[in-house]
């Protein structure tokens, strides 16, 4: 088992999949969070008092983002890596199909695709959880808890980006919260009853 773990770690290093997956994780977690925040705001402003509408819309969105992320990233990453492998084969005048480089490339494609699809789905699911607690919470409390969870996710993503870029992590977290607050304001203004 340890041998396989070490092999897969090497595959991630050789293919640079870790860097790509890290970037996609942040971008897609950000997208998933803001998308479901928009759904939650839209539901709230429409006067919905049935939490299952938000839950089903959120789950549908999360599943669609997951499928889209996994399949889209898999096809795009596979195409790029196949092109690189074929160029290398032409340069070396040999078939590299069964080499560690080719295996690392295939493994990287799978890892990147999974990260691309799973990250927005997880974030979306976190924002839906308060609506599962509506018998214990009011619908308004679920709304504010969901938005608060979204802002917390954005803050954590900002801290993560700050660590990667070796910048002030608190400042990066606050920047991400500001993006979330801006989104809340814009969506709320666009969907307020007087604007529809």
Q: Is the full-model pTM beyond 0.85? A: yes
Which strand (E) or helix (H) includes residue 19?
A: helix 17-45
CA distance 110 to 94: 25
pLDDT digits over 9-54, tens only?
Answer: 887 777 888 888 888 899 999 999 999 999 999 999 998 889 999 9
Residues 128-147 have pLDDT tens digits of 999 999 989 999 999 999 99
Q: Is 13 helix (H, G, I), strand (E, B) or coil?
A: helix
Q: Which helix (H) or strand (E) holds 111?
A: helix 100-132
User: Tens digit of pLDDT for each residue in 63-112?
Assistant: 999 999 999 999 998 999 899 888 888 888 788 788 888 888 888 899 99
Residues 6 or more apart in contact with residue 135 via CB below 8 angstroms:
none
């Amino acid at each position: 088992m340890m041998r396989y773990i070490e092999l897969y770690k090497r595959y991630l290093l050789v293919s640079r999949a870790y860097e790509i997956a890290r970037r996609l994780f942040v971008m897609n977690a950000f997208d998933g969070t803001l998308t479901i925040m928009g759904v939650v705001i839209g539901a709230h402003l429409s006067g919905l008092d049935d939490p299952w509408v938000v839950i089903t819309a959120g789950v549908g969105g999360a599943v669609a983002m997951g499928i889209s992320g996994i399949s889209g990233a898999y096809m795009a990453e596979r195409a790029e890596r196949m092109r690189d492998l074929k160029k290398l084969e032409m340069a070396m005048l040999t078939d590299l199909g069964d080499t560690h480089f080719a295996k690392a490339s295939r493994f990287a494609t799978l890892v990147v695709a999974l990260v691309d699809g799973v990250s927005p789905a997880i974030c979306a699911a976190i924002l839906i959880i308060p609506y599962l607690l509506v018998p214990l919470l009011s619908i308004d409390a679920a709304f504010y808890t969901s938005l608060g969870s979204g802002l917390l996710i954005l803050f954590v993503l900002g801290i993560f980006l700050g660590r990667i870029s070796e910048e002030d992590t608190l400042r990066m977290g606050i920047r991400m919260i500001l993006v979330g607050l801006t989104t809340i304001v814009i969506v709320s203004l666009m969907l307020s009853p007087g604007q529809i």
